[in-house]
Chains A and B, each alone.
Chain A
């Protein structure tokens, strides 16, 4: 009797052990870890995008992996990376060791993503970054391919191109101001939050803006979470800047826009303001956010290619808001991972890397292709430019976020003009017109 009880116990323990250690693919499920600051808008975007992708794939019965059809199972991991780097690494550790995910998508803050990237690479898991823009994350791939080849950037394009696109937006607005208000030399005030990712852009401003025929009248660096920027605004007004070039990813973007709108500062705001990309921006600024222009990935009614409208409309219908770039976890799963897994016929990371790094494919925000560095080494960074990813320039007009760029944009001499369907003309704030119109 005792012996049979002992054997039964052993059997139960063995079953339990098998159940918890069974690989995901043996269970006919592909486990994808979605990591991000889930209590914040960025993390919500990560999760919403991934949810939409998983639902679409599972509705079709899953993905073909060899001869088996496997469904997607998402695992949510709250990185809390705005507040704690330790929480971010713990969340990644849980995904890798407890949940034993096959792939990871998400991440937002560069500082956190760098740490999480190392952990995913140690476990040889493919990690598609959707949020962090620092070039450094991808140059690691070129420098140590064998270790970092499992990393791919999904969205947005890197800081260098973010800067380049912002300068194009700045040049566009400067040209409009010059032409409409007869301003001979445009003066620019650069306002960048104190954060690692803005450093390169500030240096670029100092170098390139004078070359673009503009005068930099000052550079202000408020805290990323500053709750009062009236001192900065007074100083900017004193500098007689025509344009404020903003580089914000945090709450200071709301504070700045709201107080500038309240005080009717006669300078056009253009650049990057992540908070201004969200539907809730206008209310968050107490309706003071009109005329703010920022770079964005999606906008209602704007069609970059044949995939855009369907994605944007379905997302709005499902979640009640316009997707931001962290919702590109949808793209990472549906367009990056899905077809690559089916082509590889396996979940083996090395085989998938080889196929994915050589693919070029359309996504709702353009087309993804992966860059190589000057020495021909893989970067696993996304290509920028006409035909690939360009992003949009969006402006708040009468409480609505509309796309104003690209509008007859020529990337280089000899290339055709680009205008995405649904783009409308840029508007100058009336108090700027009032001040400068002669």
Chain B
């Protein structure tokens, strides 16, 4: 049973990490709480569905198209709805949730509420000590780790990453040093939405595509980033696996209460926040700032 819990926890955690990293990135760099983050994941999922099932495009190509399209939509949304009100955090919150709901309604109108699906990139499963793991799930874990490594490399090893980190530390000083803070925020938004779309591309073959698929991950993603410390990539990663393992433990140890896995995970978040209100890695981030 321990191996089952570890495998299942790793899979859950990787999915949450994929989603939370993009969200943390835009919050850390531009102080934007983008509640429409998982809605872009939904849009990407529908794009992949449409491209594969209606246009007959190969899933990998469909995923690339979906990531580009969702990123472009994200940038347009940013320019039209977020950038003008960026200084007002409460307004951004409301605007992004409204954007998410608008995207949901558009998908509902186009695709109705039918449950749809997207083919797995790799079919079949692997058996490790009696535990069956689908190849698609293994792919999700690997991609999550690769993306994290990629984001870390961009932030630490490139001029863009330097600009993002500088802006995250102090926007005014970054501006005075000649960095176009607004452009950096826009690029970061693009990367963040791209990550959400990428998450969608990898996760969607495991999930059911429907217009409300953004809601549940949004709650979990918020829980992960709050648990890990707002804006902390490391925190998001660790938080995602904590909640992922918590969910698995509930399912295996309390089968009748499997539906409580979300509640238990959120309770852990509350518990951590009671002891450490800034989240697991929040202080270090603030000190950096």
Check if A251 sits within 8 Å of B132, measured CB to CB: no
Interface residues of B in 247-284 (CB under 8 A from A): 247-248, 251-252, 255-259, 262
Check if A235 sits within 8 Å of B252, measured CB to CB: yes
User: A262 an interface residue at 8 Å Cβ cutoff?
Assistant: yes
Interface residues of B in 182-229 (CB under 8 A from A): 205-208, 210, 212-213, 216
User: A218 an interface residue at 8 Å Cβ cutoff?
Assistant: yes
**Complex Cα gap A37–B210 (Å):** 15
User: A82 an interface residue at 8 Å Cβ cutoff?
Assistant: yes
Which chain A positions have C-beta within 8 A of B207? 227-228, 255
Check if B113 sits within 8 Å of A41, measured CB to CB: yes
Check if B113 sits within 8 Å of A37, measured CB to CB: yes
Place the interface of chain B in its size category. Answer: 35 or more
**Complex Cα gap A233–B130 (Å):** 13
**Complex Cα gap A254–B248 (Å):** 20
Check if B4 sits within 8 Å of A234, measured CB to CB: yes
Tell me the nearest residue of chain B to A223, going by C-beta. Answer: B259
User: B114 an interface residue at 8 Å Cβ cutoff?
Assistant: yes
Tell me the smallest distance from the CB of A385 to a CB of chain B, in Å: 32
One of B109, B125, B248, B258 near A263 (C-beta < 8 A): B125
Which chain A positions have C-beta within 8 A of B125? 262-264
Stretch at the interface among A4-12, A61-69, A152-160, A283-291: A283-291
User: A302 an interface residue at 8 Å Cβ cutoff?
Assistant: no
Tell me the smallest distance from the CB of B168 to a CB of chain A, in Å: 32
Check if A234 sits within 8 Å of B8, measured CB to CB: yes
Which chain A positions have C-beta within 8 A of B114? 40-41, 280, 284
Check if A218 sits within 8 Å of B208, measured CB to CB: no
Check if A263 sits within 8 Å of B134, measured CB to CB: yes
Tell me the smallest distance from the CB of B3 to a CB of chain A, in Å: 9
Tell me the nearest residue of chain B to A202, going by C-beta. Answer: B256
**Complex Cα gap A258–B123 (Å):** 12
**Complex Cα gap A225–B251 (Å):** 16
How many residues of chain A are within 8 Å of chain B by beta carbon? 41
Interface residues of A in 251-267 (CB under 8 A from B): 251, 254-255, 258-259, 262-265
Check if A231 sits within 8 Å of B208, measured CB to CB: no
Which chain B positions have C-beta within 8 A of A193? 259
Most chain A beta carbons < 10 A, residue from B117, B206, B252: B117
Check if A284 sits within 8 Å of B259, measured CB to CB: no
Check if A286 sits within 8 Å of B120, measured CB to CB: yes
Check if A232 sits within 8 Å of B251, measured CB to CB: yes
Most chain A beta carbons < 10 A, residue from B116, B117, B208, B256: B208
Tell me the nearest residue of chain A to B123, going by C-beta. Answer: A262
Tell me the smallest distance from the CB of B210 to a CB of chain A, in Å: 6
**Complex Cα gap A259–B205 (Å):** 10
**Complex Cα gap A218–B254 (Å):** 10
Known: A39-B113, A40-B113, A258-B117. A225 touches B216 (CB 8 A): yes
**Complex Cα gap A221–B256 (Å):** 5
Which chain A positions have C-beta within 8 A of B112? 39-41, 44
Check if B132 sits within 8 Å of A286, measured CB to CB: no
Tell me the smallest distance from the CB of B128 to a CB of chain A, in Å: 11
Tell me the nearest residue of chain B to A253, going by C-beta. Answer: B115
Which chain B positions have C-beta within 8 A of A235? 4, 251-252, 255
User: B242 an interface residue at 8 Å Cβ cutoff?
Assistant: no
Interface residues of B in 78-117 (CB under 8 A from A): 108-109, 112-117
Tell me the smallest distance from the CB of B241 to a CB of chain A, in Å: 14
Tell me the nearest residue of chain B to A224, going by C-beta. Answer: B259
**Complex Cα gap A258–B115 (Å):** 12
Check if B113 sits within 8 Å of A218, measured CB to CB: no
Check if A219 sits within 8 Å of B113, measured CB to CB: no
Check if A284 sits within 8 Å of B115, measured CB to CB: yes
Tell me the smallest distance from the CB of A98 to a CB of chain B, in Å: 23
Check if B119 sits within 8 Å of A286, measured CB to CB: yes
Which chain B positions have C-beta within 8 A of A255? 207-208
User: A164 an interface residue at 8 Å Cβ cutoff?
Assistant: no
One of B1, B7, B11, B216 near A238 (C-beta < 8 A): B1
Which chain A positions have C-beta within 8 A of B123? 262
Which chain A positions have C-beta within 8 A of B212? 83, 225
**Complex Cα gap A263–B127 (Å):** 9
Which chain B positions have C-beta within 8 A of A237? 132
Which chain A positions have C-beta within 8 A of B133? 230
One of B8, B117, B132, B257 near A284 (C-beta < 8 A): B117
User: A275 an interface residue at 8 Å Cβ cutoff?
Assistant: yes
**Complex Cα gap A234–B4 (Å):** 7
Tell me the smallest distance from the CB of A199 to a CB of chain B, in Å: 12
Interface residues of A in 263-277 (CB under 8 A from B): 263-265, 275
Interface residues of A in 204-243 (CB under 8 A from B): 218-223, 225, 227-228, 230-235, 237-238
Which chain B positions have C-beta within 8 A of A40? 112-114
Known: A220-B258, A263-B134. A231 touches B108 (CB 8 A): no
Contact with A along B1-18 (1 / 0, CB 8 A): 100100110011001000
**Complex Cα gap A398–B262 (Å):** 36
**Complex Cα gap A233–B132 (Å):** 9
Which chain B positions have C-beta within 8 A of A82? 113
Q: List 9 A-B contacts (CB under 8 A).
A: A194-B259, A219-B255, A228-B207, A231-B251, A237-B132, A262-B134, A284-B116, A286-B119, A286-B205
- Chain A residues near B (Cβ < 8 Å): 37, 39-41, 44, 82-83, 193-194, 218-223, 225, 227-228, 230-235, 237-238, 251, 254-255, 258-259, 262-265, 275, 280, 283-286
Told that A219-B255, A230-B8 touch, could you supply 11 new A-B pairs with CB distance under 8 A?
Answer: A39-B108, A41-B113, A219-B256, A221-B255, A225-B216, A228-B12, A234-B4, A234-B132, A259-B134, A275-B115, A280-B115
